[in-house]
Amino acid sequence: MQTYDMIINGKSVKAAETFGVVNPATGTVFAEVQAGDEQHVNQAVAAARAAFPAWSRTPDGERKRLMHELAAAIEANMPELMELVTKETGKPLGGLNGVGSGMEVGGSIAWAHVTAELDLPVEVIQDNDDARIEVHRKPLGVVGSITPWNWPLMIAIWHVIPAMRAGNTVVMKPASVTPVATVRFVELANAILPPGVLNIVTGNSRVGNAIASHPDINKIVFTGSTPTGKSIMQNAAGNLKRLTLELGGNDAGIVLPDVDPKVVAPRLFGVGFHNNGQTCACLKRLYVHESLYEEMCAELARIARETVVGDGLAEGTQLGPVQNKSQMNYVQELVDDARAKGARILSGGKVRPGAGFFYEPTVVADVCDGMRIVDEEQFGPVLPVIKYSDIDEVIARANNSENGLGGSIWSNDKAKAAELALRLECGTAWVNEHGAVQPDAPFGGVKQSGIGVEFGRYGLEEYTSIQTLKIMKN
């Protein structure tokens, strides 16, 4: 069994103890990782702080070149990284509609290349006989990155590539249940980057707390649950750290009465169930007009029953296991609560017996707002389908949530759908799509779904501060 070390100041670092990483398809440990602690965080921050002056002064073109080199290193090691992602997350190599570890690693490559090419040019506010005023974007210092377990490698790339591209140095902590692919990436990166620019400390929540509260870290970027985001925000207050928080979502999709259920249902199923529903911006509440309701429910249930669930390393698998047993039990709890309240379980609704954390793809009908399965983010292979009759009412119901990450409208009338989508209280709204993000378009939440945005120029700006320079001419 392979053991993965932390990387601090360009060197492998061991801790006094290690912990096991479980393959959710088998329920058994497949790798060991170092159990870092607060002292390792201090070492990593010191290394990043020492590396910052030289890295921040590195010519922009050279940092751009190195980011492209990191992308090339991921591509050169793509088969290995795909296998590691599948073993630690459970997601298939291919997956439902091509959403699997291949997409995760391929997306990491694409995001790194696109982000490398982003620029933040000096903006001239005034240039006349009196003065020239310029606005410069400057790196913040040391960035702390804390990543989740659902897309461990790709979200790590989302965090660290723009941070380093802007001239910051980084200390990162991956989720303790999915650290392996990220550690391997940092190993590859440290063969390219100067020592101390990118450091990784593995361990439990104490490591995350130490990063969030550390006085020498200037910014935290975190993707994960809203409660954890609030805790990070509190810990970060000591030195007024900058924050980018991409937090929980309970995304609503609204299907208008002019669509054909047989045509739309496969798309809806894909955006609700890819990665087993374990994506912040998955479709998690589906509102369907009463005229289509029964037909749409039947189509979704049929697709669910035909979906191939199994080990992600096996050919043809579309959905793998839930990533961890605790999350699987939470999904079961929500389904049991809905069943007890009179919901119809049209497919699935139970744990698959045997090894691993497999939960059958589940479509739930006859549910309503106020039920836990609708009001809470399931983050698993479950989709509640809710009936509606009035469009204004359903927009209000969709917006009646403390979350505001994404939302979608499904209709053949794209102009009408776009008008309705703009009424949704969420950071991103889609028409006839859901959850699709790209490296040049900003993505983030409103309400309790987060602070700040990622991706593109807007996301890159989050890793900088503004300095205004005024040069008098007389």
* Catalytic, out of 104, 246, 425, 454: 246
Strand order in the sheet with 219-223: 11-13, 6-8, 198-200, 169-173, 142-146, 219-223, 242-246, 450-451
pLDDT, one tens digit per residue, over 50-59 is: 999 999 999 9
Q: β-strand 362-367 against 382-388: which pairing, if any?
A: parallel
- Residue of 88, 104, 280, 454 with catalytic role: 280
Q: Which fold has domain 2-247+447-472?
A: Aldehyde Dehydrogenase; Chain A, domain 1 (3.40.605)
- Residue range 305-351, pLDDT digits in tens: 999 999 999 999 999 999 999 999 999 999 999 999 999 999 999 99
Q: Which two tokens stand for residue 8?
A: 């601090």
Identical fold, 2-247+447-472 and 252-431:
no
List the 123-127 sheet strands across, edge first: 123-127, 131-139, 464-472
311 DSSP 8-state letter: -
CATH class of domain segment(s) 252-431: alpha beta
Is 246 annotated in the active site?
Answer: yes
Q: What pLDDT score does 256 carry? A: 98
Measured distance CA(12)–CA(209) in Å, rounded: 22
Q: Where does the pLDDT of residue 46 fall: very low under 50, low under 70, confident under 90, or very high at 90 and above? A: very high
Task: For residue 62, indicate whether it is catalytic.
Answer: no
Digit-coded pLDDT (tens) for 427-445: 999 999 999 999 999 999 9
DSSP conformation class of 447: G
306-310 LR contacts (CB < 8 Å, sep 24+): 307/96, 307/269, 307/273, 307/361, 309/352, 309/358, 309/360, 309/361, 310/25, 310/358
pLDDT tens for each residue of 375-425: 999 999 999 999 999 999 999 999 999 999 999 999 999 999 999 999 999
209 by Cβ neighbours in 10 Å (0-12 / 13-18 / 19+) ranks as: middle
Q: What is the pLDDT of residue 203?
A: 98
pLDDT in tens, 281-302: 999 999 999 999 999 999 999 9
Q: Which residue has the tokens 């798309």?
A: 267
Contact 86, 276 (CB under 8 A): no
Pair of tokens at residue 15: 């801790």
For the beta carbon of residue 412, count every other beta carbon within 10 angstroms.
Answer: 13
Q: What is the mean pLDDT of residues 94-108?
A: 97
Q: Choose among 189, 154, 1, 187: nearest CA to 82.
A: 154
Going by C-beta distance under 8 Å and a sequence separation of 6 or more, which residues neighbour residue 30? 1, 21, 22, 23, 87, 88
Residue type, 228: T
pLDDT at 363 over 90: yes
Q: Whole-angstrom Cα distance, residue 115 to residue 88?
A: 26
**How many angstroms separate the CA atoms of 234 and 231, rounded?**
5
Please answer whether residues 307 and 469 qualify as being in contact, where contact means their C-beta atoms are separated by less than 8 angstroms.
no
Mean of pLDDT over the chain: 98
The total of other beta-carbon atoms located within 10 Å of residue 121's CB is 9
C-alpha count within 13 angstroms, C-beta hemisphere, residue 151: 29
pLDDT of residue 474: 86
In degrees to the nearest 10, what's the CA dihedral of 69, 71, 76, 82? 160
Spatial separation of the C-alpha atoms in residues 62 and 242, rounded to whole Å:
26
pLDDT in tens, 9-41: 999 999 999 999 999 999 999 999 999 999 999
> What does the DSSP 8-state code read for residue 216?
T
- Number of Cβ within 10 Å of residue 20's Cβ equals 11
Alpha helix ranges (H) inside 283-427: 293-306, 325-340, 372-375, 391-399, 414-421
Closest-CA residue to 189 (of 105, 73, 106): 73
The two beta strands, 344-347 and 362-367, are antiparallel
The answer to whether 291 and 144 are in contact (CB under 8 A) is no
What single-letter amino acid sits at 129? D
Distance CA 253, CA 284 (A): 8
What pTM was computed for the model? Answer: 0.97
The set of long-range contacts for 422-430, using a CB threshold of 8 Å and a minimum separation of 24, is 423/395, 423/399, 424/252, 424/395, 424/398, 424/399, 425/399, 426/251, 427/453, 428/281, 430/406
Write down the domain spans for the chain: 2-247+447-472, 252-431
Tell me if residue 211 falls in helix, strand or coil. helix
